[in-house]
Amino acid sequence: MSELKVNKISPRSGTDVTLGDSGDTFTLPTGVTLDTSNSTVTLPDGSVTNAKIADSTIQLAKLSATGTKDATTFLRGDNTFAEAGGGKVLQVVHGTDETARETTSTTYASLTLNASITPSATSSKVLAIVNLATSSAFQDKYAFFTLYRGATDLGNSGGSGFFYTYDDIGSDVYMSGSFAHLDSPSSISSLSYTLYGKCTSGGKARINTNGGRSTITLIEIGA
């Protein structure tokens, strides 16, 4: 076997050097280090497999992706680590009220039923679910119910809120109803959600009559 000892191999012309011919094998014996830390190595597609990695494992610390690399995150297509999201429930708050409440106001007034929640991130959404026990005994009158976050009416701009009743009988009619609203408060402060009611002139907006119970549930959903 012939042996060639040199300190440097450079192309005679141009910038390329070819080692051997197709089918040749170049073997690096045990103990030899091939240092390419300051170079670029181009490998053919599919040439790197677990079998060709010394410990068959690529450690998280060896990946170039940005973000927190741990057991609670995953690697996204944009080469960043992120926690699982898209609808994860972060907390649930529930409130109930069994006291009879009513208002004769023709503009929205508080009916007391409420719950408070402090979102963990400004990107979180709050799903509010309200179940009402209500009644009517006022012929040809409407009662409207809406939900406020603080001083903000979350109902529609027409003022009919999320739920309404109409009495065309004029005697006590007990009923239940529910509505839900997905809110985007963009806040990490404590938020109070309260049921409000109003009615047409001469009527009443009532809840919890005849031993009824109304509830409100707030669910924080991660972005």
Residue 172: closest CA among 212, 201, 134:
134
Residue 123: closest CA among 185, 190, 78, 181:
185
Q: Along the 223 residues of the chain, how does pLDDT read in single tens digits?
A: 677 788 788 887 878 888 788 888 878 788 888 787 787 777 676 566 655 556 656 666 666 777 777 766 777 777 887 766 666 899 999 999 999 999 999 999 999 999 999 999 999 999 999 999 998 767 788 999 999 999 999 998 788 999 988 877 666 667 889 999 999 999 999 999 999 999 999 889 999 988 899 999 999 999 7
Mark whether 115 and 193 lie in a shared domain: yes
- For residue 78, give its domain range: 52-83
The whole-angstrom separation of Cα 96 and Cα 141 is 27
Instruction: Calculate the CA 57 to chain-centre distance.
Output: 32
- The pTM (predicted TM-score) of the whole model is 0.64
Strand partners, 222: none
For residue 32, is it within any domain?
A: no
Number of neighbouring beta carbons within 10 Å of residue 182: 11
CA max distance for the chain? 112
CB 157 within 8 A of CB 217: no
Task: Supply the DSSP symbol for 89.
Answer: E
Among 65, 83, 101, the domain boundary falls at 83
The whole-angstrom separation of Cα 166 and Cα 1 is 103
CATH number, domain of 128, equals 2.60.120.1340
Mark whether 187 and 113 lie in a shared domain: yes
For residue 79, is it within any domain?
A: yes
